[in-house]
Structure 1
């Protein structure tokens, strides 16, 4: 039996999940960070540290070296990627630069070329252990290069300006840019902590307080293209004074993550700020943005016993045979839709251990399933990405089950559809799922 590397097996699953999400991969894709982290683990596996050196070697130095070894200019495209990484002022460590380079190489579909040239640079390849490294094991190298080739045919649209936290984390904060009209004073109280510019307070009467484009706890990342990463005390004020009377373009890193919780790498900083200023209150989502979001993306929901209950459309269910893996969903959902059953408005209650579906008009419970009964859950790839479904054993209490059925529902928005799929999938960790 051919040897297997667990990293490659997990990476393969992650790449397939990226493929199933659609043609374009953006920063909000839930599988992107995991895929990048696995690539990083492969590139670090077996990387040997130099003897009698205080410098810790990382895969960034490998990529940097292969372009320095090129004396004939054959690697001009790769050299540009390395140079763009090297000059980025928001990156302070080899880890951050390596992560930035990986994201940039994915965006430019250049990762296979980087690895190919690394393999043909003996002086650098020798840094890797033949016994441990994927790159020096022929049995592992071929499937790894095949996965890189798959990634190179995918369209990555990543925000390369949002890189100030790559030194610490693969999970990136919400990054937003605001255009501010020329004004005399922005009106913000700032605090410099670990080279970052935090907003502590908005001064009433200032432009920031009037426009509500930023709130306490947020970070000012850039002003008119000038990075404030690794800033010294007063540097933001110097930049703003230089631009007084000019329109401002301010890049803001939100304290709140995509899922609505505190962005995890910021927790220790916000705790430090609260120790200094116990009255610090993290600001809400800016009022203007909140109103737009509420109008456009807030799905219909209601509260039940303190929980959010989703109001969705029940489309029906159909028996799908003896196999209930996620691969059947794309065929099972059309099977339900072809029945042309009248849809019902229902309340989908995702509880801690199980879910229930209740007819909204009659209050009759249509079904209840514990998460271990659900074999897979996923979103339909067409036509509008709001239909989702899960497979469940027809008679889960009977060992000799007659097979599986597919239950299909429709959410009001794509975002709500994704949230429901994630919630069901995390309810039972062995459930297969995709979005």
Structure 2
């Protein structure tokens, strides 16, 4: 009987996509993020709990990668240096962020296959970290993964490794710019520290930073003269500037938008919201207006084409944050919370169950309300007490790793179609998580 895993198949698919750009693969490559996210899911799948002085806890793949680096196996110096580079990087703070940065560094250094090769050489080591039936715990699946990563070691990755500040949150890479400004005593910008990031809240229009919109309100100040700017930098900015007196100022800036259309970078949107500065929220509103105009244009074009749509016609009622647990027990609680909050909507939408996830689009203009992969959806269902409402819960990342979950609630009076939707979601779980 052949041995396979859906994540391995998906990773092979993204690898084939990268082959098309094998001469040089940069952060602008749209397939790179999907490849990296899929690889992360492969490394995360079926990790065994780790026992420490407090008790068992759910590990992250970073823990075993760091562990084998400490073992200093002969012939793997490139990988060991990559791990050390991650540990010294002040821009990543979580195991998730460190794993993502390590993957990017290893792609550039052509050593991504090395830790898997170590587990292949020492199978007993693999079973210390993974379930025997997992990708890295199974001898055959591990060899298949190794062959894919060896193929990737032949690609030419040209990635901006300085672009690491938001890897704790997402694989979506922001737009970054490196600037060299003339010597000056003051940059002419003001920042507020939100979630350990230096959010630019004001730019003096006569300052060197304002020239040609080099730095804009909503950007994140990432580095000054190779000094990483984070929560530890509070009160030290003037000292950093004084130290550079009479010298050109080197800045690394993360832009608040990711496209020329000024679509905002979502993690920075959250920083703006968390800042509590009302004037900053205007930036979000302006961007939303731009997106509405773009959506209207797309809607007008779509009306000229086919009038038929797939999926189910239901009503979207809104979303509720349910905390750190995404199990099915949260479904009824979430539905009642939304109904009692007085914030229930009734937006006509199309609910589509696709091959690798679901998409919910507004019927009036085909605008996407939510789009989740089955790997992010942790549960779905409805309650007997109010059968016309159903919901699914999704995490901010793969639900096995997620720490924040939201419930998306819908209303539909057709019992048969609701059953079909929930069954389709259930089949999606099985296809993505459990097929071997």
TM (normalized to structure 2)?
0.63
Change (3 A) 1:370 1:179: farther
RMSD: 3.1
Contact 1:200 1:280 in 2 (8 A): no
2:255 counterpart residue number: 254
1:178 counterpart residue number: 179
Q: Which ranges of structure 1 fall in alignment gaps of 5 or more residues?
A: 284-302, 309-348, 356-367, 373-425, 430-435
1:21 counterpart residue number: 21
Please tell me whether residue 307 in structure 1 is matched to residue 308 in structure 2: no
Change (3 A) 1:123 1:69: farther
Quote the offset at 1:278 in angstroms: 3.1
Query: How far apart, CA to CA, are the structure 1 residues paired with 2:157 and 2:309?
Result: 33
Query: How far apart, CA to CA, are the structure 2 residues paired with 1:370 and 1:22?
Result: 39
Contact 1:99 1:166 in 2 (8 A): yes
Query: How far apart, CA to CA, are the structure 2 residues paired with 1:94 and 1:225?
Result: 23
Change (3 A) 1:369 1:151: farther
- Superposition pairs for residues 200-279 of structure 1, below 5 Å? 200-258=201-259, 260-273=262-275, 275-278=276-279
Contact 1:63 1:118 in 2 (8 A): no
Q: Secondary structure at the match of 1:307?
A: helix
Quote the offset at 1:231 in angstroms: 3.3
Tell me the number of residue pairs that the alignment of Structure 1 and Structure 2 aligns.
303
Quote the offset at 1:53 in angstroms: 5.0
Larger Rg: 1
Query: How far apart, CA to CA, are the structure 1 residues paired with 2:147 and 2:106?
Result: 16
1:48 counterpart residue number: 48
- Superposition pairs for residues 24-423 of structure 1, below 5 Å? 24-52=24-52, 56-70=58-72, 73-121=74-122, 124-258=125-259, 260-273=262-275, 275-278=276-279, 281-282=282-283, 307=297, 351-352=301-302
Q: Secondary structure at the match of 1:63?
A: helix
Query: How far apart, CA to CA, are the structure 2 residues paired with 1:263 and 1:33?
Result: 15
Contact 1:195 1:232 in 2 (8 A): no
Change (3 A) 1:143 1:260: farther
Which deviates more, 47-56 or 27-36? 47-56
Write out per-residue CA displacement over residues 293-338 of structure 1, whole angstroms, 9 at most, x where no aligned residue: xxxxxxxxxx999638xxxxxxxxxxxxxxxxxxxxxxxxxxxxxx
Quote the offset at 1:83 in angstroms: 1.1
Contact 2:48 2:58 in 1 (8 A): no
Which deviates more, 221-230 or 208-217? 208-217
Query: How far apart, CA to CA, are the structure 1 residues paired with 2:125 and 2:59?
Result: 11
Quote the offset at 1:50 in angstroms: 1.4
Contact 1:62 1:124 in 2 (8 A): no
Q: Secondary structure at the match of 1:352?
A: helix
Q: Which ranges of structure 2 fall in alignment gaps of 5 or more residues?
A: 285-292, 311-367, 372-436
Query: How far apart, CA to CA, are the structure 2 residues paired with 1:306 and 1:61?
Result: 47
Query: How far apart, CA to CA, are the structure 2 residues paired with 1:130 and 1:216?
Result: 48
Higher relative helix content: 2
Q: Secondary structure at the match of 2:251?
A: strand
Change (3 A) 1:204 1:226: same
Query: How far apart, CA to CA, are the structure 2 residues paired with 1:108 and 1:353?
Result: 48
Write out per-residue CA displacement over residues 99-120 of structure 1, whole angstroms, 9 at most, x where no aligned residue: 1111111111111222101333
Contact 2:193 2:231 in 1 (8 A): no
Q: Secondary structure at the match of 2:267?
A: helix
1:386 counterpart residue number: none
Write out per-residue CA displacement over residues 249-269 of structure 1, whole angstroms, 9 at most, x where no aligned residue: 100001101473111112211
Query: How far apart, CA to CA, are the structure 2 residues paired with 1:207 and 1:190?
Result: 16
Change (3 A) 1:279 1:242: same
Query: How far apart, CA to CA, are the structure 1 residues paired with 2:131 and 2:45?
Result: 11
Q: Secondary structure at the match of 1:67?
A: helix
Please tell me whether residue 12 in structure 1 is matched to residue 12 in structure 2: yes
Change (3 A) 1:304 1:138: closer
Write out per-residue CA displacement over residues 120-146 of structure 1, whole angstroms, 9 at most, x where no aligned residue: 345642333344311122332232222
Q: Secondary structure at the match of 1:167?
A: coil
Contact 1:15 1:35 in 2 (8 A): yes
Change (3 A) 1:122 1:15: closer
Change (3 A) 1:40 1:354: farther
